[in-house]
Amino acid sequence: MVTAAPRLRDDIDEILPGVIADRRHLHEHPELGFQEVETARFVAERLRSLGVDDIRTGIAKTGVTGLIRGTAPQAGPAKTVLLRADMDALPIEEENQVEYRSTAGGVMHACGHDGHTAMLLGVARLLLERRDRFAGAVKLLFQPAEELPPGGAQAMIAEGVLDDPKVDAAFGMHLAQEQPVGAIALRGGPAMAAADRFVVVVHGKGGHGARPQSTVDPIAVGAQIVTALQTLVSRETDPLAAAVVTVGAFRAGDAFNVIPDTAELRGTVRTFDPAVRDALEERIEAVVRGVAGAMRADVAFTYTRGYPPTVNHPAETALVREVATELFGPERVIDSPLKMGAEDFSYFLEAVPGCFFFVGSRNPDKGLIWGHHHPRFDIDEEALGTGIEAMVATTLRYLNGAE
Ligand code: NI
């Protein structure tokens, strides 16, 4: 299998200009979550022209799936592997002056999902050319709205994408500006955080700033709440269990001499361990209600769970690591640090075993240093070839095929 790798690399070199053209086309025409109408049309059209089977569209509004059936003989039951790309862009005005700059005002592929979609189309092409070398099936999945919780993954799963044929394992990849182009970064177990949010509305009693004794000052109450919340991570969470509680918005009042009626706080909570997540949810509410009650204010409290932590499974992670090390050498396979960002590929990994890995895309020599969600975000497109190579080889290895 290792000896066959150079031919895979040759094929990637051959298709890479087309993959880059696809990525640039998608970059020029970004669409927000659940509005990926033209993107989905482009994807479905491309799958059709490649000869992918069982193309289904309109899943969770704009999701697309397709199937590649291997034709190699297989003793025993054949497996199905799901490969996922997300398709949505972000509400950001692009600042790059490149020929493939976004043509949609205020919308930009600033996270690399254009690259993910283009890579999976490239993977589809190479797997189709190799369908006589594997048994089982590859389900290609193009997902809407990764950036827009509750997201497209959960909705696609609810619409049955893990059945018919039943999916045995799932793999996904994300371009990563934190890693150098050419590298693959991954880690087993928890890899990305759960992201929850909360809103606190403190109901006090407004009045004149010079007569505080006849008011219940919601700003003073809110300030105590912010301070008390900081002790939940520093004093109640195991220092070895990473967690973040951030109050990112605090809105109250308009005038220098008026105590307002209400104050509103909004925050985010990031965790990796389900027990820590449960504990923080419970304790945040208790602290908010307790502090407010002690200070004579009422509160309205809502806590909304977002994406669960992205937890990679050991065997599938070991497989990606083994394949990437053989293809690229150990120096290009990096242990990914825990990421406090969240990702709805987590829902696939809750349902079936699999691995979500990162494909380095930073290149300071080309000035490609800006991070995800930045208006100047852009990738080194050589990364697209690395991602395709890793994904094709991993899929073939999983389905007992040869590269
Ligand atoms: Ni992303």
The reported pLDDT for the residue numbered 400 is 84
Q: What is the DSSP string of 3-71?
A: TTHHHHHHHHHHHHHHHHHHHHHHHHS---TT--HHHHHHHHHHHHHHT-EEEEEEETTTEEEEEEE--
- Mean pLDDT computed over 117-123: 98
Strands (E), 146-193: 169-180, 184-186, 189-192
For residue 41, pLDDT over 90 is answered with yes
Domain end residue (candidates: 238, 269, 304): 304
Distance from the CA of 85 to the center of ligand 1, in angstroms?
10
The reported pLDDT for the residue numbered 76 is 77
- Mean pLDDT computed over 305-329: 97
pTM, two decimals, is 0.91
Distance from the CA of 387 to the center of ligand 1, in angstroms?
15
Instruction: Determine which of 70-79, 151-160, 181-190, 313-322 has the lowest per-residue pLDDT on average.
Output: 70-79
Which residues participate in catalysis according to the annotation? 88, 146
How many structural domains are present in the chain?
2
Domain end residue (candidates: 280, 304, 328): 304
- Mean pLDDT computed over 303-327: 97
Bridging pattern class, strands 137-143 and 80-86:
parallel
Residues with Cβ within 8 Å of 275's Cβ and at least 6 positions away in sequence, in order, are none
- Mean pLDDT computed over 293-320: 98
Distance from the CA of 113 to the center of ligand 1, in angstroms?
6
For residue 6, pLDDT over 70 is answered with no
Distance from the CA of 114 to the center of ligand 1, in angstroms?
10
Determine what percent of the chain is predicted with pLDDT higher than 70. 98
Which residue, 44, 40, 31, is CA-closest to 62? 40
Torsion sign (Cα): 19, 23, 28, 33:
positive
Q: Helix %, strand %, coil % for the chain, to 5?
A: 40, 25, 35
The reported pLDDT for the residue numbered 1 is 47
For residue 95, pLDDT over 80 is answered with yes
Distance from the CA of 285 to the center of ligand 1, in angstroms?
30
Mean pLDDT of the chain: 96
- Are 84 and 187 in the same domain? yes
Distance from the CA of 111 to the center of ligand 1, in angstroms?
5
- Are 222 and 288 in the same domain? yes
- Are 86 and 183 in the same domain? yes
Distance from the CA of 217 to the center of ligand 1, in angstroms?
41
- Are 99 and 232 in the same domain? no
3 state SS of 14? helix
- Mean pLDDT computed over 169-174: 98
For residue 4, pLDDT over 60 is answered with no
The amino acid sitting at 232 is: L
Per-residue confidence at 401, pLDDT binned at 50, 70, 90? low
Per-residue confidence at 402, pLDDT binned at 50, 70, 90? low
The reported pLDDT for the residue numbered 75 is 75
Distance from the CA of 146 to the center of ligand 1, in angstroms?
7
Q: What is the DSSP string of 55-71?
A: EEEEETTTEEEEEEE--
For residue 174, what are the CA distances in angstroms to 119, 255, 313?
Answer: 10, 46, 17
Cα 312 from chain centre: 13
Mind listing the pLDDT tens digit for each residue in 344-390? 999 999 999 999 999 999 999 999 999 999 999 999 999 999 999 99
Give me the CATH number covering residue 219. Answer: 3.30.70.360
For residue 3, pLDDT over 70 is answered with no
How far apart are the two ends of the chain, measured CA to CA in Å?
6
Question: What is the spatial distance between Cα 124 and Cα 109, in angstroms, rounded to a whole number?
Answer: 22
Give me the CATH number covering residue 337. Answer: 3.40.630.10
The reported pLDDT for the residue numbered 403 is 60
Structure tokens at 309: 């932590």
Full domain range(s) for residue 285? 194-304
- Are 207 and 316 in the same domain? no
Structure tokens at 163: 């059945």
Distance from the CA of 31 to the center of ligand 1, in angstroms?
14
For residue 74, pLDDT over 90 is answered with no
For residue 176, pLDDT over 60 is answered with yes
- Are 264 and 391 in the same domain? no
- Are 10 and 97 in the same domain? yes
- Are 74 and 119 in the same domain? yes
- Are 61 and 146 in the same domain? yes
Residues 370, 178: contact at Cβ < 8 Å?
no
Domain end residue (candidates: 304, 321, 345): 304
- Are 173 and 46 in the same domain? yes
CB-proximal residues (5 Å) to ion ligand 1: 111
- Are 168 and 213 in the same domain? no
- Mean pLDDT computed over 88-109: 97
- Are 298 and 314 in the same domain? no
